[in-house]
Amino acid sequence: MVRLLYFMAFVMCLASCAESYNIQGSSSVSSLDGSKLYLKAVKNKKVENIDSCEVVHGKFHFTGTLDTTRFVNLFMDERPLMMPIVLEKGEIVVKIGDSSQRVSGTPLNELLYSFLELHNQLNNRMNELGHRESQMLLDGIDENEIAATLSVEAEQIAMEEDTLVTNFIIRNSNNVLGPGVFMMLTAGLEYPVLTPQIEHIMSQASDAFKNDEYVREYYKTANEIQSKMQGGIGGAPAVPAESEPSDSVIRKILNGE
């Protein structure tokens, strides 16, 4: 009996020591009301469900325990809401509006959304160039002059964006934000590629970052594609570095042919 009591006390101690997350969410988007929301993360090359809840009268709530801090994304049914969240200990506040999304309340989420806000500002500046181009055309300015002016500004914004993302990933390569933002950076690519930005990140980032499952697999596959493209496939001549490989070539590489 005494041993059983000691065992129960030990189990209760472990449970009390486990970190927990608590997400209090609100939404002003009417289409979300009554929907099922999911927290999902990538693990073993698959997207797995971490938690779920329903939106009731614009409110939703996730809570649970976690053995490690995780980078997850918010989904409505199977549709991603493009809203990353760091599952970490503490009270997490999620606000979803028609024109803005914000996660706050815990250190890594505050850091992530401060970064995303700066990134959105750069996107807005880039989008504004299109409006300025239209206005300059209406004002009768020569097209060559417009292109010369706006291309310089576009290049400057692109350089600022590259620096912002690169520095953020490197500075956070020892926590989940580094691999998480790296995944956001590369998720839209058709296949893994090695860009100067990615090579620089890999040269500066921590070993923990390089050993992250997603980062490790991406970098391995990108190197395999690059080496096989340079050496040719099945006796075929190598594809010039400046040309884009065909879909059939990429499929052969990814299938290990």
What does the pLDDT look like over 178-211, one tens digit per residue? 999 999 999 888 899 999 999 999 999 999 999 9
3-state helix, strand, coil in the chain (%, to 5): 50, 25, 25
- pLDDT per residue as tens digits for the range 118-158: 999 999 999 999 999 999 999 999 999 999 999 999 999 99
Q: Looking at the predicted structure, is the pLDDT value of residue 236 above 60?
A: no
How much of the chain, in percent, has pLDDT values that exceed 70? 82
Q: Which residue has the tokens 């997603």?
A: 214
Cβ atoms 72, 41 nearer than 8 A = yes
- The percentage of residues in the chain with a pLDDT greater than 90, rounded to a whole number, is 70
Q: Are 83 and 96 in contact (CB under 8 A)?
A: yes
Label residue 232 by pLDDT band (50, 70, 90): low
**Topology at the third CATH level for domain 17-105:** Immunoglobulin-like (2.60.40)
pLDDT computed for residue 252 by the predictor: 52
What is the average pLDDT across 10-33? 75
**CA-to-CA distance for 28 and 40, rounded, in angstroms?**
22
E strands of 44-154, at which residues? 46-54, 59-66, 70-76, 79-87, 90-96, 101-104
Residue range(s) occupied by CATH 2.60.40 in the chain: 17-105
Could you give the 3-state DSSP secondary structure of residue 91? strand
Report DSSP letters for 131-160, one per residue.
HHHHHHHHTT--HHHHHHHHHHHHHHHHHH
For the entire predicted model, the pTM comes to 0.82
pLDDT band at 10 (very low <50, low <70, confident <90, very high): very low
Tokens of 4: 């059983």
* Average pLDDT of the chain to the nearest whole number: 86
